[in-house]
Amino acid sequence: MPSAYEAFHKAIREIGQLGSIEGLLDWDSETIMPDGGLSARAEQISLIATLAHERRTSPTLGELIEQLDSRVDDPIEQSNVSEARRMYERASRVPAELVTRLSRVSVLAKEAWGKARAGSDFPAFAPHLSELVNIKRHIADLIGYKGERYDALLDEYEPGMTSAQVEEVFTALRGPLCEFVRRLAHAPRKPDSSVLHRNFPRAAQESFARHLAEAIGFDFSRGRLDVSKHPFCGGTGPADVRLTTRYYEDFIAPSVFGVLHEAGHGIYEQGLPEAHMFTPAGQAVSLGIHESQSRLWENFVGRSREFWEGMYGACQRAFPDALGSVSLDAFHGAINTVSPSLIRVEADEVTYNLHIILRFEIERALIGGTLEVRDIPAAWNGKMRELLGVSPPNDAQGCLQDIHWSAGMFGYFPTYALGNLYAAQFFEAALRAIPNLRDELRRGQFAPLLAWLRENIHQHGMRYRAGELVHRVTGAPLTVEPFLRYIRTKFAPIYGLNIT
Amino acid sequence: MPSAYEAFHKAIREIGQLGSIEGLLDWDSETIMPDGGLSARAEQISLIATLAHERRTSPTLGELIEQLDSRVDDPIEQSNVSEARRMYERASRVPAELVTRLSRVSVLAKEAWGKARAGSDFPAFAPHLSELVNIKRHIADLIGYKGERYDALLDEYEPGMTSAQVEEVFTALRGPLCEFVRRLAHAPRKPDSSVLHRNFPRAAQESFARHLAEAIGFDFSRGRLDVSKHPFCGGTGPADVRLTTRYYEDFIAPSVFGVLHEAGHGIYEQGLPEAHMFTPAGQAVSLGIHESQSRLWENFVGRSREFWEGMYGACQRAFPDALGSVSLDAFHGAINTVSPSLIRVEADEVTYNLHIILRFEIERALIGGTLEVRDIPAAWNGKMRELLGVSPPNDAQGCLQDIHWSAGMFGYFPTYALGNLYAAQFFEAALRAIPNLRDELRRGQFAPLLAWLRENIHQHGMRYRAGELVHRVTGAPLTVEPFLRYIRTKFAPIYGLNIT
């Protein structure tokens, strides 16, 4: 007879295996699947999702969790049981019909969103969005929450985090960030990003992107790099991690920083403990922690002067026509221009979090019931002026720009900004722990930083919730100071400002 | 309440969907998966196989089949029920432990076979093979059979076919084939294949192979062509069919004829009725019928003079250095050299079937219990001399050359030769039905032949068993005469023989 934990372990591993199979089905459909395969693929994914849902909500699993909850001592076993409980409760409180309805409504909503965005026609999308908001409110009420309804949705992406906590850090961030953006706008010096828009042949971009990913520690014997319309990091587990990117021959930034970003995600995945593969103990903490790893490599490392001191020679050799006569300083300035803009995915690292604060405030009010769907455009445009000082000329470049809401993903946006804040706090801790880190980066030596991340973050899988992990790694709770210090210290010299 | 047929249909579709998911997992692991992904992939495939097996042997499915068997009138429904019955009975008669044991023994046997072949050490492989033969004998006895034990295994790959029928056609084939091989050996003219071994740049091979596949009707909006160590046709269904090949820069034949072969399989898959996707009514009849489609395009079309009359110009343009000064006649001769050789996969279309007759006789005797594993090398070498007049210098080039037995696949080999015979009989019927077919082929017009195959073979899915299909399409039962006529008519002029 297997022990209760063995039976439990087998059950949760199977759920994890189904998830990893879905990972391959998704990756394939986004990258290399022939167009004709679409409808069969939808059925395959739906079958796997149904099988996983059945297992996640199985009464047998519920009983095993109940039986084990207070009895396991081993920290690995504890993290598996506690995450399985969260998963079981979230899934079993929502009837299957509602899950099916959400998925059906969302398919139509995504289609309607695509058309509405193309025609900048918010009213055409509004009825779909209202239906999704109503379903998600209902789901949140079924799942339950301590503070407010939005917490139940946020918990899906950032387990343990509450709206009140997010509000606290966003409030602390908002004023100083707006102030700093204003200072940059009136700065004596402005870097010029036009050199990034010269001609960058695709083949050279491909090999340089691969070189970068490899240099920072992405292991290609346990991963791939391919092309997709929307870049992502997918795959089926720590030993099969698949990055995607896109190449524009007239713009180098998307492939270079896109690949550093996705490789950051990928390096985290590759560092998760393979012994616990397919179980929570072998999985990422949260979307926010995941994003901290991608942002750390993309921005804190990848947009630093030290990084390019070591790497710019190779970059010039890869693109001699475009960059042969561009100085390191000019290039470093070009990749660090700050400018309030309309589109989140194109935003620089200073203004990015303001785009997120806006979305958090709107979706929290929508779910809480204090904002109606029809009032979104006005709220959006008002907040854009307030936070960034820009006015969207239409809803396509305003509240219709992101796909998330059309997919029913409310509570997802904050994790992007949390990722930036976690990254800053982790990076400060790494600088303390590795005193010569900046020199190492200058020499293209990324192994010490990688080893520190492996040791302090990756190897733990889901053992600690995000807040607990941040405290353990940095000795302090999540705070906005490291991020504010980082941007001030970094951008002041580029823009010719005194650091105050 | 769904009707019994609806419930049955849902159940068999789910089995088909699981099979199609396994198809993607397999394809990916053979083509593009990073090496690191191997062990996770093995677990994923094993989970899907287990889930499919549970469903295939579910008592509920058994009851539905029982309930429906005599009651369905629609031919589509009939073919689904009758194939589901075959599948259910085969699967449910074999205990799960035995399936697991077979799979475990086979993993070790494949590894041992790889080493034994490398060292040409049959005794090192023999204990593994004995264990596999014993397990398969046991499985055959559990499944049951009317004629002899081997029938139960053959039925897995060629449903409805019996050892006695195979013996009958192989006996009719054997003498005339050996005689014809001897005549060719003493023929006045011998084509020279050395031009195929010139330099063929890989990129040109890739685009020419793609051109060929497209020309004969493979639809790339519903399929792909990639590279793998062992060429195959895989994918997940009629709208997502994936061919693989390999490229040798010093040998053009493997990519050209490999792709024509795999595209033949792929065109069949793409022609299966999509409305019945994931159910037997939407699946291929048998391995033999599948092979008839690949062989028809590879050999009957692809090695014909008519085909190259239309295609050789493009081929010379693709490889100007290698073939620019080679005449059409010389090229056609080169791709049609006949020579008794040691290795099945390198054999020409005349001697190929003799390699299969040898394997059929040996594996039939093994399963029947009249040949012991230790006696295989002697039996193999004796039959090689008798059928082909050659003597393997060692077991690596003799009885250790194929992977099939190490994977427990007994009863598979005959389907290769059956495919050649079906192809000949189908091609004669197509020539009768499309009087100007040879002219169409000369003009590179493959649509009439493709339409005939779609109409007569592909669209029916599994509606008819192989024997019944051959009879319906050609007006006669399976016979060796069309194949013998085909090789005599084709090779006599190439070798300067009189057709007798």
Number of CB atoms found within 10 A of residue B410's CB? 25
Which residue, among B271, B305, B306, B242, has the nearest Cα to B441 in the 3D structure? B306
Contact: B24, A25; criterion CB under 8 Å: yes
In Å, what is the CA distance from A87 to each residue of A3, A23, A63, A82?
A: 22, 18, 14, 9
Judge contact between A86 and A159, C-beta under 8 A. yes
B119 Cβ neighbours under 8 A, 6+ residues apart: B396
Please state, in angstroms and rounded to a whole number, the distance separating the CA atoms of residues B420 and B482.
10
| Beta bridge pairs of residue B109 | none
pLDDT category of residue A498 using cuts at 50, 70 and 90 = confident
Q: What is the pLDDT of residue A262?
A: 98
Question: Which amino acid belongs to residue A112?
Answer: A
Question: Which amino acid belongs to residue B457?
Answer: I
Question: Which amino acid belongs to residue A487?
Answer: I
Please state, in angstroms and rounded to a whole number, the distance separating the CA atoms of residues B196 and B336.
11
Q: What is the pLDDT of residue B408?
A: 95
Tens digit of each residue's pLDDT (9 = 90 or more) over A173-228: 999 999 999 999 999 999 999 999 999 999 999 999 999 999 999 999 999 999 99
Please give the torsion angle defined by the CA atoms of residues A266, A224, A11 and A65, in that order, rounded to the nearest 10 degrees.
10
**pTM of the entire structure?**
0.94
In a shared domain, residues B311 and B179:
yes
Residue spans of chain B under pLDDT 50: none
Q: Which pair of structure tokens corresponds to residue A384?
A: 């854009």
Please state, in angstroms and rounded to a whole number, the distance separating the CA atoms of residues A247 and A253.
9
In a domain, A386, yes or no: yes
| Beta bridge pairs of residue A251 | A248
Q: What is the pLDDT of residue A70?
A: 83
Q: What is the pLDDT of residue B500?
A: 61
For tokens 């942002």, the residue is A295
Could you list the residue range(s) of the whole structural domain that residue B337 is in? 96-500
Which positions of A are annotated as active-site residues? Answer: 262
Number of structural domains chain B divides into: 2
Contact: A219, B36; criterion CB under 8 Å: yes
Contact: A40, B237; criterion CB under 8 Å: yes
Contacts of B40 in chain A (CB under 8 A): 20, 236-237, 239-240, 277-278
Question: Which amino acid belongs to residue B377?
Answer: P
Beta sheet of A233-237, edge-to-edge order: A223-227, A240-245, A233-237
Q: What is the pLDDT of residue B356?
A: 98
Contact: A35, B220; criterion CB under 8 Å: no
In a shared domain, residues B67 and B127:
no
Contact: B221, A41; criterion CB under 8 Å: no
Please state, in angstroms and rounded to a whole number, the distance separating the CA atoms of residues A473 and A465.
12
Q: Which of A92, A112, A145 is the last residue of a domain?
A: A92
Phi first, then psi, for residue A337 (nearest 5°) are -85, 140
Residue A476 has pLDDT above 90, yes or no: yes
Q: What is the pLDDT of residue B33?
A: 96
Interface test mutation site (partner A, options B24, B27, B35, B54, max chain A beta carbons within 10 A)? B24
In a shared domain, residues B139 and B63:
no
Q: Which of B47, B72, B92 is the last residue of a domain?
A: B92
Judge contact between A76 and A281, C-beta under 8 A. yes
In a shared domain, residues B323 and B418:
yes
In a shared domain, residues B86 and B122:
no
- Given B22, B30, B262, B428, the catalytic residue: B262
Q: What is the pLDDT of residue B1?
A: 72
Give the nearest chain B residue to A33 (CA atoms).
B240
Give the nearest chain A residue to B276 (CA atoms).
A40
In a shared domain, residues A391 and A466:
yes
Give the nearest chain B residue to A46 (CA atoms).
B17
Contact: A239, B28; criterion CB under 8 Å: no
Chain A interface with B: residues with Cβ < 8 Å: 14, 17-18, 20-21, 24-25, 28, 32-41, 43-44, 47-48, 51, 219-224, 236-237, 239-240, 277-278
Please state, in angstroms and rounded to a whole number, the distance separating the CA atoms of residues B155 and B139.
13
Q: What is the pLDDT of residue A119?
A: 97
In a domain, A313, yes or no: yes
Residue A288 has pLDDT above 80, yes or no: yes
pLDDT category of residue A2 using cuts at 50, 70 and 90 = confident
In a shared domain, residues B129 and B51:
no
Interface test mutation site (partner B, options A24, A27, A224, max chain B beta carbons within 10 A)? A24
Give the nearest chain A residue to B42 (CA atoms).
A17
CATH number at residue B481: 1.10.1370.30
Interface test mutation site (partner A, options B13, B31, B43, B226, max chain A beta carbons within 10 A)? B43
In a shared domain, residues A16 and A160:
no
In a shared domain, residues B57 and B197:
no
In a domain, A133, yes or no: no
In a shared domain, residues B140 and B21:
no
In a domain, A487, yes or no: yes
**Which ipTM was obtained for this model?**
0.93
Q: What is the pLDDT of residue A500?
A: 61
Number of CB atoms found within 10 A of residue B375's CB? 13
Which residue, among B234, B376, B383, B212, has the nearest Cα to B308 in the 3D structure? B212
Residue A1 has pLDDT above 80, yes or no: no
Which residue, among B58, B74, B75, has the nearest Cα to B66 in the 3D structure? B58
Q: Which of B77, B92, B107 is the last residue of a domain?
A: B92
B239: distance to nearest CA of chain A, Å? 5
In a shared domain, residues B58 and B157:
no
Tens digit of each residue's pLDDT (9 = 90 or more) over B273-286: 999 999 999 999 99
Task: List alpha helices for B319-465, DSSP H.
Answer: 320-323, 328-334, 352-368, 376-388, 414-433, 437-442, 447-456
Tens digit of each residue's pLDDT (9 = 90 or more) over A6-46: 999 999 999 999 999 999 999 999 999 999 999 999 999 99
**What average pLDDT does the segment A306-317 reach?**
98
In a shared domain, residues B48 and B113:
no
**What average pLDDT does the segment A329-335 reach?**
97
Contacts of A35 in chain B (CB under 8 A): 221-222
* Cβ-nearest to B17 among A18, A24, A43: A43
